[in-house]
Amino acid sequence: MSVPLDEVAQLVLNGLVAGTMLAVPAIGFTAIYAVLRFPNFSLASHVTIGAFAGYVANAAGGWPAWAAVVVAFVVAGAAGVVTDQVVLRPLRPAGALTTAIGAVALTIVLENVVRFGFGNDLRGYELPIRRDWQWAAVRIGPQQVENLVIAVVAMVAVFAFLAFTRTGKAMRAVADDPTLAGLKGIDAERVARLTNFGAMGLAGVGGVLLGLDTTIDPLTGFRVILSVFAAAVVGGLGSIPGAVVGALTIGVAEELSLLSLAPAYRTAVGFVAILLVLTLRPRGLLGERAY
């Protein structure tokens, strides 16, 4: 069986764009894991909350895409801090797995809050229709490029924040060794709140990117969550650069799977990737070091 090279090039390009978009919520998931040491499944509903917040700003408020991204970051981030303080923080003493169960219950509650307000209908952002750009046999849509730019800007901001700000360094210190960080006078609770705000904000941005790309409904976040897990686990759970590498890997793998699998199985690729990585290299491509 021969596969036309043009098609592969197109799929790899699509995969890199999709992977970059996936990296945004994946960074959020892995950052919470690095700092709070539990898989926060409620990220799914924060993706949805961000997608709907951006939708309200864009479709009802008539704001441009970049403004919708900012709105989604703030709304989802704030929701993340509030729900964590009220719901998940009190569960943390009972252990990571109990908190994980609480997070699944929380995601169901939040998803239904969105459903109660907006119903189950598919909704689309108000976007101008533009012609794809073409080089040789490879095409790319202006919207894809815009999403790519948004995702890259968000990621650069994250890395700059972690590398250069005092708070970013405190976050890395807590991720590295909470006890040592505490001895140095770092307030772990404050770091936890900031991590939640930033991480769930990124989840919200991821939701807007999905909304700009396709349509949204209350299950938007849940549908993408398997790919987010896969990105985080493949890169190394708790590693932020790992989440980026993992997301690009999963993005490309999901697109390339179209060569031999039905499109519906794209998300199953993430599951297979998790199984493979855990079997062969459980710490993931980049290990578990946060940064």
The contact mask relative to another protein for 234-253 (x = CB under 8 A, - = no) is: ---x----------------
Contact criterion met (CB below 8 Å) for 183 and 234: no
Runs of H (alpha helix) within the chain:
5-36, 43-55, 65-83, 96-118, 142-164, 166-176, 178-183, 188-213, 220-235, 240-256, 266-280
Q: Segment contacting another protein (CB under 8 A): 113-121, 172-180, 190-198, 243-251?
A: 113-121
> Which phi and psi (to 5°) does residue 218 adopt?
-60, -15
Q: How far is the CB of 258 from another protein (least distance, A)?
A: 14
DSSP string of 24-38, one letter each residue: HHHHHHHHHHHHH-S
Greatest CA span in the chain, whole angstroms? Answer: 62
Here the tokens at position 237 are 């759970």
Kindly state the smallest distance separating residue 149's Cβ from another protein, in Å. 30
- Angular region, 132: left φ>0, alpha ψ -120 to 50, beta rest: beta
Which among 14-22, 38-46, 184-192, 241-249 is the span making contact with another protein, rule CB under 8 A? 38-46
| Residue 179 near another protein by CB under 8 A | no
Q: Is 222 in the site for another protein (CB under 8 A)?
A: yes
Provide the b/e sequence for 148-174 (b: ≥16 CB within 10 Å).
bebbeebbeebeeebeeeeebbbbbbb
Nearer to another protein, 63 or 265 (CB): 265
The only residue of 94, 145, 163, 259 in contact with another protein, by rule CB under 8 A:
94
Number of amino acids touching another protein (CB under 8 A): 44
Q: Which residues contact 49 (CB under 8 A, 6 or more apart)?
A: 75, 76, 79, 110, 114, 204, 207, 221
Only segment of 3-11, 14-22, 116-124, 157-165 that touches another protein (CB under 8 A): 116-124
Contact segment (CB under 8 A) with another protein among 20-28, 59-67, 158-166, 224-232 equals: 224-232
Q: Could you say which residues in the range 272-291 bind another protein, by CB under 8 A?
A: 274-275, 278-279, 282
Binding mask 42-61 for another protein (x = CB under 8 A): --------------------
Burial class (CB in 10 A: 0-12, 13-18, 19+), 104: middle
| Those residues with Cβ within 8 angstroms of residue 129's Cβ, 6 or more apart along the chain or in another chain | none
CB 199 within 8 A of CB 29: yes
Binder to another protein among 271, 285, 287, 289 (CB under 8 A)? 271
Contacts (Cβ under 8 Å, ≥6 apart) of 128:
none
Tell me whether residue 93 or residue 185 sits nearer to another protein (CB atom).
Answer: 93
Q: Which is nearer to another protein, 98 or 214 (CB)?
A: 98
Select 134 or 279, whichever has its Cβ closest to another protein. 279
Interaction of residue 262 with another protein, rule CB under 8 A:
yes
Binding-site ranges for another protein (CB under 8 A): 33, 38-39, 41, 87, 90-91, 94, 96-98, 100-102, 104-106, 108-109, 111-113, 115-116, 119-120, 222, 226, 229-230, 233, 237, 262, 264-265, 267-268, 270-271, 274-275, 278-279, 282
